[in-house]
Amino acid sequence: MSNKPVNHARAAEHFLEDAPHLQFHDERLWDMRQKRDGQMHMLPEWQELREEASRIKEHTLSRLPEYLEQFEENAKKNGIHVHWARDGAEHNRIVGDILKAHNARNLIKSKSMVTEECDMRPYLAKQGVTVTETDLGERIQQLDDQLPSHIVVPAVHKLTSDVARIFAKDYHTDPNIRDPHLLAEAQRQAARPVILHADAGMTGGNFVVAETGTFVVCTNEGNADLSATVPNLHIATIGIERLVPRMADLGVFIRLLSRSALGSPITQYTTHFRGPQKGGEMHVVLVDNGRSARLGMEDFWTSLKCIRCGACMNTCPVYRRSGGLSYGAVYSGPIGAIIDPTFNERKYSTLPYASTLNGSCTNVCPVKINIHEQLYKWRRVLVQHHEMPFVKREIMHMAGKLMGQPRMYRAAIRMTEVSLGSMPRFVLYNWLNPWGKHRENPHPVKQTFNDWYRKNREKTKPAAAPETKK
């Protein structure tokens, strides 16, 4: 994997050049945000639910090893095989070995961000396993060989025409179809035979319940249920942070999840998996992949509370105008920008800067992750770890010095006013002035406030600042 920092700004600029895609993307996600607001207004206890969800998650994370072992013990009693994966490579090996042991060549799977994290599909392909995504959006992304651009609606950056073009190539449908229902039907027709003849099924897991040794999968298309139950072998890949202690805790999260994500009261399917079906086998792979290390980060551990609803993406004005792919990472948007650097600090060092720190994300988050404060803290950490480009670092260093010297500062302001007022346009607006690429410069003034004050309030002029006592 390349360590080169992701150029979010350039990718975003490219995204912004395509007006129809930009408009659809912004409006579709904003609509999800508004539907989420509508659901919130119907529940007077919304803030209490958020508080409770946050509390449960923080409690669970503070005793993660105990609860994980409790889950393992109870899951085994339910006849579930439990595996532990330290990282992506170990996860892929475990899954590959299970499939090999069953001589399984065709795997159907529902959406799982963890398998994206582990880059599982290429690994299994090398082993001769055909992996078919059954979630519509995820399948579109698989056929187009792209990462999901959103954690809930993976192909939200695509228009119907894009999907028609992709399906025409792989499913030989009419590339001019513009009716989403026809495209969904094409996917059904293509997917059903694959599902019926699959050797193994894979799902993720939204919630894992320690006291019962069971797990819950929430979907809207029913594809996870088909993936889990049509073949006799079911493998669920789940991050270790998805635990809740008790069955009674689930209600809080189920009520928040879909309301926050899509603005619907509940997902179409909320399936509790309690053990293998008759004659079948069920495996749960619990994946760490950097989570334990993140749990040890004082400023960032609460990002593990995330229930992957995507509300922070839908509300983020930057995400809506740059698209998920511009983040160049498995996790995009505000939540991505605070967890991606834990996977690779250099590569994702630019992402905490892909934000205005406006704070909308933090306030829609159903588990109250202080996302924008973590973005702020990441910037400090990245600078301390020398992950800021040299030029920008130097500019800040010089600006900081200047701000400590009032006379030099006054001279600099005067120079700015003079240049803005006297330089010809072609000098002021060039590649050295990113401000002026899509914006006019501020207008110079005849008199700064400081000048005005000296002239008009001179007699009441206060004494100069006393020298600092060191």
Partner 1 sequence: MKIGLFIPCYIDAFYPEAGIATLELLEKLGQDVEYPLDQTCCGQPMGNSGCNSDAAAAEALFVRNFARYDKIVMPSGSCTHHVRDNFDAIPQTDEVRHVRENTYELVEFLHDVLKVDAFPWAEFNHTVGLHNSCGTLRALRTASMSELGEKPFSKPMDLLSKVKGIRFVTPKRPDECCGFGGTFSVTEEAVSARMGVDKVRDHYQAGAEYIVSADSSCVMHQQGCAERAGVPIRFIHIAQILNGAAE
For residues 96 and 29, give the distance between their C-alpha atoms in angstroms, rounded to a whole number: 36
Cβ closest to partner 1, residue 1 vs residue 465: 465
Write down the least CB distance from residue 25 to partner 1, Å: 12
User: Nearest approach, Cβ of 372 to partner 1 (angstroms)?
Assistant: 8
Question: Least distance in Å: CB of 359 to partner 1?
Answer: 4
C-beta closer to partner 1: residue 8 or 139: 8
Query: Residue 37 or residue 69: which is nearer to partner 1 going by CB?
Result: 37
Secondary structure (3-state) at 204? coil
- Whats the size of the chain, residue-wise? 470
Question: Which CA distances in Å does 249 have to 43, 51, 255, 278?
Answer: 18, 13, 11, 29
**CB of 145 or CB of 467, closer to partner 1:** 467
Alpha-carbon Rg of the chain, whole angstroms?
Answer: 26
Q: From CA 266, how far away is CA 34, in angstroms rounded?
A: 16
Q: Which residues contact 261 (CB under 8 A, 6 or more apart)?
A: 32, 36, 152, 309, 310, 311
Closest distance of CB 320 from partner 1, Å:
9
Beta bridge partners of 84: 286
Pick the closer one to partner 1 by CB: 33 or 121: 33
Helix (H, G, I), strand (E, B) or coil at 360: helix
Residue 32 has a CB neighbour count (10 Å cut-off) of: 24
Q: Give the burial string for 218-235 (b: 16+ CB within 10 Å, else e).
A: bbbbebbbbbbebbbbbb
- CB nearer to partner 1: pick between 240 and 335: 335
Closest among 226, 265, 249, 329 to 4, alpha carbons compared: 329
CB of 449 to partner 1, least distance (A): 4
Of 195 and 312, CB closest to partner 1: 312
Closest CA to 332 of 51, 348, 346: 348
Question: Helices marked H in 180-331 — which ranges?
Answer: 180-196, 223-229, 247-261, 291-295, 311-315, 317-320
Q: State the nearest-atom distance from the C-beta of 327 to partner 1, in Å.
A: 12
24 or 171: whose CB is closer to partner 1? 24
- Nearest distance, CB of residue 455 and partner 1, angstroms: 11
Residue 170 or 299: which CB sits closer to partner 1?
A: 299
* Shortest spacing between CB 226 and partner 1, in angstroms: 36
Could you give the CA distance from residue 144 to residue 169 in angstroms, rounded to a whole number? 10
Q: What share of the chain is helix, strand, coil (3-state, %, to 5)?
A: 55, 10, 35
Mention every residue, 6+ apart, whose C-beta is less than 8 A from residue 76.
Answer: 82, 213
Q: How far is the CB of 296 from partner 1 (least distance, A)?
A: 21
259 touches 251 (CB < 8 A): no
Q: Residue 213 or 336: which CB sits closer to partner 1?
A: 336
Any idea what DSSP says for residue 301? Answer: G
Least spacing, CB of residue 210 vs partner 1, in Å: 31
